[in-house]
Amino acid sequence: MTKIYIPLDMAAVAMGADRLAAAVAKEAAARGQQVEIVRNGSRGMLWLEPLIEVETPAGRVGYGPAKVKDVASLFDAGFLTGGAHALSIGVVEEHPWMKRQNRFTFVRCGVIDPLSVADYEAHDGFKGLKRAFEIGSAAIVDEVAKSGLRGRGGAGFPTGIKWKTVADCAPGQKYVVVNADEGDSGTFADRMIMEGDPLSLIEGMTICGYAIGASKGYVYLRSEYPVVAKVFQAAIEKARDAGGLGQNIKGSGFDFDVELRIGAGAYVCGEETSLLESLEGKRGIVRAKPPLPAHVGLFGKPTVVNNVLSMATVPMILEKGAKHYADLGVGRSRGTMPLQIAGNVKFGGLFETDFGIPLGTIVNDIAGGTRTGRPVKAVQVGGPLGAYVPVSLFDLPFDYEAFAAKDSLIGHGGLVVFDDTIDMLWMARFGMEFCAIESCGKCTPCRIGSTRGVETIDKIRNGQDVEKNIELLKDLCHTMKFGSLCALGGFAPYPVESALRHFPEDFRKSALEAAE
């Protein structure tokens, strides 16, 4: 029986993976070929999706992007034994995109059957949990702290410190909450890991629960991820059946369970306190801090809120040891970062690498430059609240502090690339408009400021008192940055200010045109 892998990943499905899987099964039956089709996660080479992989003695050979119309010719070419075909990319692990990575969080993604506990365990699954039970709560927190892991949701807060804060709260009801709202433009790593290796997130949550003394975990998932919802719910049930969730997990005496909750489609519900409100069944409005969720979180109880990637990385840290992880990266940015490369690029997808890689290497080398073949003008790093970084800063290492020093952020690791046809005034307007639409409305600088920002940019576009309005816009950005209650209003100025700083000519075009 030949094993064939066809991703169930949403990006692959959007490109026809479900139809492809059905066509391969039908063709195999018609030819009397014995095949087992495994629906795996994506390897992250999104330009090759749907990527079919066939298990051969030489390794898994890939063919992509494959369409239903290619199925007959793939069989004719003997793809079941790795035969040559125009779509062949050779052994997947040998592909330059794969070989250059340091897959740590994503080591199993695309490799295993996401819903097979046996496959998960055959690829070192539950080893982190096993070690966690051996070393005990305090040592787990210490290990996570020593690894240098920082929150991958955007703020980069040290995960170990957060866990210790909750662990140190008086015993009683506590919660583990996973933020799977993944609202940033150009980001998809949470989705990919939850579709491709959901048990790693469940294992991470269980380790966290054990470390802080919580018996219940919630995953707050954005409604736009229906495949994740299906896969993750199934993974919860598989984990329960295998004794990896529920009562007396793996014979440890520890009880822990996980519940999946679906959001209703608000960007601000990714902000942790707004998320907690939404989880409690209320409207997603930001809470003032303090108190921190670590002290007064879900239903008023001490709560760890972590991003999917932060939580899913923990089992590997426990398994390999804190030092292994801490030895990777630069400065205070330790370990690896799953980069999500999107926008106008030749090769987009997920690329996990140690911190410190220069931005220019990611864009020009790994992503292959723009798909249009035109020069790159800017890269928005870190989602809709991230700065537009110009080519002149391409030697910037991918590192929290290096980006912060340039008034930028790395956020959740999303990069959206634009070529030289992009109008940065328009992108600045988009930033303000996004904030106006998504603002929860609790504080004035964000609620009113973002609308005034759109209006002011429109005046600049129309050539109305351009210099005066640019000054006004800068002043407004300052007010929003320092007067907003949360980072939605506080960071919305980043794209605007960076556009103003690096591309001033785009703000004066209308005035120039009027003068001509």
Ligand X SMILES: Cc1cc2nc3c(=O)[nH]c(=O)nc-3n(C[C@H](O)[C@H](O)[C@H](O)COP(=O)(O)O)c2cc1C
Q: 181 contacts which partner out of ligand SF4, ligand X, none, CB within 5 to 8 A by kind?
A: ligand X
* CA distance from start to end of the chain: 72
SS3 track for 451-472: HHHHHHHHHHHCCCCHHHHHHH
Please tell me whether residue 304 binds ligand X under the rule CB under 6 A.
Answer: no
Choose which of 488, 492, 499, 500 interacts with ligand X (CB under 6 A). 488
Q: Which is nearer to ligand X, 40 or 313 (CB)?
A: 313
CA dist 487 and 133 (Å) reads 37
Sole window of 180-188, 333-341, 393-401, 463-471 interacting with ligand X (rule: CB under 6 A): 180-188
CA dist 160 and 18 (Å) reads 40
Choose which of 40, 42, 147, 179 interacts with ligand X (CB under 6 A). 179
Element (H, E) at 293: none
Min dist. Cβ of residue 428 to ligand SF4 (A) = 18
Choose which of 249, 485, 496, 500 interacts with ligand SF4 (CB under 6 A). 485
Sole window of 56-64, 351-359, 483-491, 498-506 interacting with ligand SF4 (rule: CB under 6 A): 483-491
DSSP reduced 3-state for 239: helix
Site string for ligand SF4, 432-471 (x = CB under 6 A): -------xxxxx--xx------------------------
β-pair partners for 36 = 3
Choose which of 176, 178, 486, 496 interacts with ligand SF4 (CB under 6 A). 486
CB 445 within 8 A of CB 484: yes
Site string for ligand SF4, 247-286 (x = CB under 6 A): ---------------------x-----------------x
Q: Which token pair is 326?
A: 């801490």
Q: Which is nearer to ligand X, 181 or 319 (CB)?
A: 181
Choose which of 53, 113, 181, 352 interacts with ligand X (CB under 6 A). 181
Q: At what angle do helices 198-212 and 127-135 cross, to 10 degrees?
A: 10
Q: Which is nearer to ligand SF4, 369 or 495 (CB)?
A: 495
Q: 52, 48, 49, 43: which is closest to 111 by C-alpha?
A: 43
CA dist 494 and 406 (Å) reads 11
CA dist 263 and 405 (Å) reads 34
Q: 265, 21, 237: which is closest to 274 by C-alpha?
A: 265
Interface residue list for ligand SF4 (CB under 6 A): 268, 286, 439-443, 446-447, 484-486, 488-489
Interface residue list for ligand X (CB under 6 A): 151-155, 157, 179, 181-183, 267-268, 270-272, 305-307, 310, 486-488
